[in-house]
Structure 1
Amino acid sequence: MSTPTTPTGATAAHDALERRTAARALLATPLMTAQQHPDELALVRRHAPALRSVFSRMLGYTLIVESSFARLVKAPLSPDAPSRAVRRGEGPAFGPHTYALFCLACAALLAPGTGEQVLISSLIEQIRADAAAAGVEVDDSWAQRRRLVAAVGLLIDWGVLTETDGTLAGWNDRKEEALLSIHRPLLPHLLARPLGGVVRPEDLQKQMRPEHDEPRRSLRRKLVENPLVRREHLSDPERDVLSRERTGLTRLLEEHFGLVLEVRAEGALAYSSDTTVSDVEFPGPGTVRQAALLLVDRLLGLAPAGWREQSAGPAPDLWCSWPTVDAALKELSSRYGSAWSSLYIHDIGRLRDDVTTLLASLSLASAEATGLRLHPAAARYRPLVREPSRTRAADRLREPTAADTTPAALFEDTWTTAREASS
């Protein structure tokens, strides 16, 4: 008769690492399918009981794990959280009309009599019919077709639909028929809450948000979901938790999610040095992400005349006029345009709008009527320049320069210490 074995230290450490990896993957991709995320889903299924407990206790989230998919149902963040609209690749962000079409597509797939597969023409026809009944305008214009393709394409990206024969692009470009297979077990869990009786977005948020949420849990949610949490966006109880329980909070975030907590006077962020836990990839590929990263570096390196201090303190927000931002983007486009989308090269205004939207979704910047206001944490994304270390004697003999006292220099020093230590 064999005796039960207890896990060794190495095995326990390996299991803990796998759980943290799975938890971060779920935060970044709340909907996983076996076809599109086989390795991540295998980890989630292996540690499903522990992950359900962690997400429920730490964040108030519900985790659903089946043989072919995993769905992390999140609670909504506070109203002051940055807006992060759905976007497919370099395409435009989803607006209210596209979201409505997406919900109508889900309803069409859940309609009685719908089998395991559907022709794309039949699906589009059903969406249009339901839209007309609901008072949602859907014509055959280019803009409406683009929204329809975005709504159906998102279902394909998420693994709810699979292009079995033909493609969505072929239907859009040449009206070619396509056969789509439906991941039916996933459909009922696609929307976080039923939409019956919901008239306004505020109704759905009120339905989903816990009535009596403790500040510890709400603070943890903000830290794991937002690339940056501004201090002014924290409630008084949350600021008290961040101040009084920082050591315990740091340990919990590292233990369960593998995140490093960094706190400054202006705000806080929890990050992983090897992967992202946010649904917004930054830095990353694509014209908008590359332009945003280069713009941050360029604006922080401007002469003091290009900036105006927006608030008091050792590291104030920095403000730059729109003409200065446009000039920087034009210069970057002329230098890197060969690798960027031609849509943006010929439309600097569109590039500026999308770059600003991206930085705002990360809480790194905010758009004002006359200019762009940059948060101090944006300095974390500047490239590090390694210089030979100087001796103390050389430092004493070195005369301070004007560059050492510019707003940009003071601005950057606040958020670079931890970055240098982790790089």
Structure 2
Amino acid sequence: MTNSDRTLATSRQVAAEVREAARILLRTPIVTAARAPESMAIIRKHAVALRKLFATNVGYHLVVEASFARLAKLPPESSATERVVYRRNGTPFGARGYTLLVLACGALLAPGVGEQILLSALVTQIRTDAAQQEIPLSDSIADRRLLVAALAVLLEWGVLTEVDGTVAQWGESAEEALLTICRPLLPHLLTRSIGSGADRRDLLTPQPDAPRRRLRRRLVEEPVVLRSDLDPDELDVLSRERSELTRMLGEAFGLVLEVRAEGALGYDPAGSLSDIEFPGTGSVKQAALLLIGALLDLTDDGVTGSMEFAWPVVDSVLAELVRAYGRAWRSEYADAPGALRDDTVALLTTLRLAEPTSDALVLNAAAARYRPQPKSGGTQLTFE
């Protein structure tokens, strides 16, 4: 192997490592050495290149320290679907859950708190702060479980690490636990400072930026980008810079650009970047997948664009699916078809595969990629 060959091989290896580190940060914007030492090692190794990659291409700020890395993303565009935190049982966190999460972070920053804390002491501080802010917080099972859910988020983010005992055990039987705190990370949880008088818009309103970077962020973060959601400048970039967009998405993040009449998407061949696995396990995901196939089977022509299906048609199809597959799904859906419709439509909307209107469910053309295909010689379904 010549020197030039070795240099090329090294360059390719570095580019692959930077791309993998960028994908880790997109998928998990908070990485800690305690929870993911191997990921943290590759991020620290390429910190300079990663800061430049994110700042130049999508306008994100990356903080890398010895114990953690924090990718500060920007607020999504107004047309993007809302992304929420979910509890382990799959239910949305809700306003009260977010309130307890903020109280927990504040308690961890209280004077005198060191690198470790007993769970009982943390809970006492949270309840004291809640009382001072006139936020009701009892010792009921419901409130304890919601507090456990908030602390579980901090465990998942790596802000807290269980040393002795678990948060879950405290939630069920009040057993003590010892927690380690990643204190340097706490000030970086919020991507923007909140001063007195600030409201929700200070954190969630997109900031002005060049159309090129706005479009790149959309393609990286959103499952489907519809042309109707793009302003004229973004549409111009999509038209004129398609080759450059294709190169950037592939080299930086391992995504493949797909452009159709309805819009565009950054497709991930590895299928590991999305925070919502689809297709996937669970009643709602299975129902959503089968609903797509059943609705598309009702169309006589090929899929050439968005398709509308009146709500009575959707309800009829879901009723048939419940009869066929309901025994394998959550039992409450058999008695509450409206709940199944609401949860299924919410998932498809989040994935930008469908849009509900007052009269119908509109399937976007991208939904056709998930159309079930029967295996030859049997009735088992496979999925594209």
The amino acid across from 2:268 in the alignment is S
CA distance in 1, matches of 2:316, 2:34: 45
CA distance in 2, matches of 1:141, 1:353: 30
Task: After superposition, give the CA deviation of every residue in 1:169-196 in whole Å (9 maximum; x if it has no partner).
Answer: 2222223232222122222212212233
379 and 303 in structure 1: CA distance in 2 versus 1, 3 angstrom threshold: closer
| Structure 2 unaligned regions, length at least 5 | 377-382
Task: Give 1:221 shift.
Answer: 0.5
Matches for 1:269-348 after TM superposition, within 5 Å:
269-302=265-298, 315-337=304-326, 339-342=328-331, 344=333, 347-348=336-337
The amino acid across from 1:59 in the alignment is V
Q: Does the 8 Å CA contact 1:300/1:379 hold for their aligned counterparts?
A: yes
Matches for 1:209-288 after TM superposition, within 5 Å:
209-211=206-208, 213-288=209-284
CA distance in 2, matches of 1:363, 1:327: 23
CA distance in 2, matches of 1:29, 1:106: 19
RMSD: 2.8
CA distance in 1, matches of 2:103, 2:198: 15
CA distance in 2, matches of 1:342, 1:178: 35
Find the residue that maps to 1:8 and give its secondary structure.
Answer: helix
CA distance in 2, matches of 1:31, 1:360: 26
Task: Give 1:325 shift.
Answer: 3.2
CA distance in 2, matches of 1:334, 1:19: 49
Matches for 1:119-198 after TM superposition, within 5 Å:
119-197=118-196
Q: Does the 8 Å CA contact 1:226/1:278 hold for their aligned counterparts?
A: no
Q: Does the 8 Å CA contact 2:115/2:181 hold for their aligned counterparts?
A: yes
- Identical pairs, percent: 52
Find the residue that maps to 1:284 and give its secondary structure.
Answer: coil
Task: After superposition, give the CA deviation of every residue in 1:187-242 in whole Å (9 maximum; x if it has no partner).
Answer: 22122122332542112234xx434x100011000100001111111111001110
CA distance in 2, matches of 1:225, 1:51: 17
Task: Give 1:42 shift.
Answer: 2.5
CA distance in 2, matches of 1:185, 1:239: 41
Task: Give 1:34 shift.
Answer: 2.4
Q: Does the 8 Å CA contact 2:308/2:360 hold for their aligned counterparts?
A: yes
TM-score where L is the length of structure 1: 0.80
The amino acid across from 2:340 in the alignment is L
Aligned to 1:402: none
Aligned to 1:10: 9
CA distance in 1, matches of 2:9, 2:374: 38
CA distance in 2, matches of 1:110, 1:344: 43
The amino acid across from 1:125 in the alignment is T
Aligned to 1:363: 352
Task: After superposition, give the CA deviation of every residue in 1:60-85 in whole Å (9 maximum; x if it has no partner).
Answer: 11111223321111111211111111
Most deviating of 40-49 and 262-271:
40-49
Task: Give 1:39 shift.
Answer: 3.0
Aligned to 2:365: 376
Aligned to 1:57: 56
Q: Does the 8 Å CA contact 2:61/2:71 hold for their aligned counterparts?
A: yes
TM-score where L is the length of structure 2: 0.88
Q: Does the 8 Å CA contact 1:27/1:278 hold for their aligned counterparts?
A: no
Task: Give 1:336 shift.
Answer: 4.2
194 and 346 in structure 1: CA distance in 2 versus 1, 3 angstrom threshold: farther
CA distance in 2, matches of 1:64, 1:87: 25
Aligned to 2:343: 354
Q: Does the 8 Å CA contact 2:75/2:203 hold for their aligned counterparts?
A: no
| Structure 1 unaligned regions, length at least 5 | 388-419
Most deviating of 61-70 and 169-178:
169-178
Find the residue that maps to 1:268 and give its secondary structure.
Answer: strand
Most deviating of 173-182 and 44-53:
173-182
Count of equivalent residues: 377
383 and 13 in structure 1: CA distance in 2 versus 1, 3 angstrom threshold: farther
Aligned to 1:98: 97
The amino acid across from 2:262 in the alignment is E
The amino acid across from 1:247 in the alignment is S
CA distance in 1, matches of 2:326, 2:270: 29
Q: Does the 8 Å CA contact 1:30/1:72 hold for their aligned counterparts?
A: yes
Q: Does the 8 Å CA contact 2:303/2:365 hold for their aligned counterparts?
A: no
142 and 332 in structure 1: CA distance in 2 versus 1, 3 angstrom threshold: farther
Task: After superposition, give the CA deviation of every residue in 1:346-381 in whole Å (9 maximum; x if it has no partner).
Answer: 544333322222221111112333442221111112
Find the residue that maps to 2:266 and give its secondary structure.
Answer: strand
41 and 293 in structure 1: CA distance in 2 versus 1, 3 angstrom threshold: farther
Most deviating of 14-23 and 131-140:
131-140
